[in-house]
A and B are shown apart, each in its own frame.
Chain A
Amino acid sequence: MHVPDGFLSPAITLPAYAAAAPLWALAARRHLGRDAADALPVVGALTALAFVVQTIAIPVPGGTSTHLVGVTLLALLHGPLLAFLCESLVLLLQALFFGAGGVTVLAVNALAMGLLGPLAGWAVHRLLRRRAQRAAAFLGAWISMQVAAGAVALVLGLQHRIAPEYFPVPFAVSATALLVPSLAVTGLVEGLYTVLALALLRKADLRGVA
């Protein structure tokens, strides 16, 4: 789902940085502004958890594989702002230390995968959790994946609309390439994973541990 460097022009990446910067500052002030010895290790550990969950490859029929994202689980456990901070750090580490994703598109990826998706999933879960807890978690994670994929597709579509000579991939192609796997596989896998992980955490009474 990551957009690589070169797919989006500064006309989109720079405003995305302008939108993400105050949110990063707010998240850092709220979650890192306290005593550094308390806050920093927790943010580092949750970032590592999100990073490692994303390395778990799920085999898909047809010989390819997808991977878990796990950021919805983080949003349900600790709130969307901390999920955004951790996912942004994951994307930064992936870009700087492992050469995955990109630096120019970091803000776009962070806003789509770290903020909009988890925020939608968190809101759906909050809305439905009193009626059916497991269904709320599943639906929250599934919707989170669709919102993130939809946001990335919309941004790519916008890039095609404002400069087709820069990005010749039409919206129909980027939307199909992103939403079909997300609707059919990634969303279901993420939903199932989130339900099972929450059930295990509840069973072990670990929700408050972090």
Chain B
Amino acid sequence: MASPDPRRERLLLAGWLAAAFALSAVTDLRALGLAALAAAVAFRRGMARALARVARLVLPVTLAMSALSWAFLRLGAPAAPPLQPFLALAARTLLLAFLAFSVLARVNLLRALAPWPAATRLVVVALAQIHALRLLATESADGLRSRLPRRPGPLDVVRNASGITAALLVLAVRNAREVSDAMRSRGF
């Protein structure tokens, strides 16, 4: 649940940005371990959900790149390459993703953006359009699946995507005009 205090939310966002840049410079495993412990204590509420997202979205890429690289380095060297840099890379990447998911779950970004009205308006318009266009794209994908007796292949999806892009562009432009009229009628 989002915090009701916008100043606290802005502070949390600023702290997260500073921590993300600082942690992205760390290679020491002990320092990363301590930071992970601190993050686990600070963000224990909702930790399971954040960890599940990390495991689903970040872990596979990091593991695959690390395994491939370790095998590549092993081929060209008489001894096995050290594991420490790979462990540090995994720890850093997973910790940063965990922090991002945990912080973003606690912040109402639109409320935090309130001091910058132009940015807020742009984000609101983009998010509203994303919602509207995604509905159309999802319906189109469902339509494609229902029309075909088999699973749609890459060519089917590309052909359908090209067609839906034209419709999405028309809808986006029409929506933009409506938003533009609405903004003008409110004095912008």
Contacts and interface: CB of A to CB of B under 8 A. Distances in A.
B137 A55 contact: yes
Interface in A35-81: 36-38, 40-49, 51-53, 55-60, 68, 70, 73
Interface stretch (A112-120, A128-136, A167-175): A167-175
A200 interface: yes
A195 B122 CA distance: 30
B21 to A, nearest CB: 6
Interface residues of B, number: 78
A201 B166 contact: yes
Interface in B47-89: 53, 57-58, 61-62, 64-66, 68-70, 72-73, 81, 84-86, 88-89
Contact of B154 (A60, A196, A209): A60
B125 A40 contact: yes
A192 B154 CA distance: 11
B40 interface: no
A52 B121 CA distance: 19
B165 A43 contact: no
Contacts of B133: 48-49, 51-52
A66 B133 CA distance: 20
Contacts, number: 230
A170 B65 CA distance: 10
Contact of A73 (B24, B129, B165): B165
Contacts of A5: 20, 24, 93, 96-97, 100
Contact of A206 (B95, B163, B164, B170): B170
A55 B161 CA distance: 11
Interface string A181-210: 000000001001100110111001010011
Interface in B85-130: 85-86, 88-89, 92-97, 100-101, 104, 109, 118, 121-123, 125-130
A3 B108 CA distance: 25
Nearest to A48: B129
Nearest to A12: B24
A196 B109 CA distance: 37
Contacts of B85: 164-168
B160 to A, nearest CB: 9
B12 interface: no
Contact of A89 (B61, B122, B159, B183): B122
Interface size class of A (residues with CB under 8 A): 35 or more
A173 B69 contact: yes
B128 to A, nearest CB: 8
Given A59-B152, A68-B161, A45 B172 contact: yes
B21 A10 contact: yes
A100 interface: yes
A210 B92 CA distance: 43
A200 B25 CA distance: 47
Contacts of B183: 36-37, 40-41
Most buried by B among A10, A44, A47, A56: A44
B130 A41 contact: no
B137 A52 contact: yes
Nearest to A185: B154
Contact of B137 (A56, A206, A209): A56
Contacts of B11: none
A99 B97 contact: yes
A53 to B, nearest CB: 6
Most buried by A among B88, B123, B176, B179: B176
Given A49-B168, A206-B166, 4 more contacts: A4-B58, A37-B188, A42-B180, A44-B179
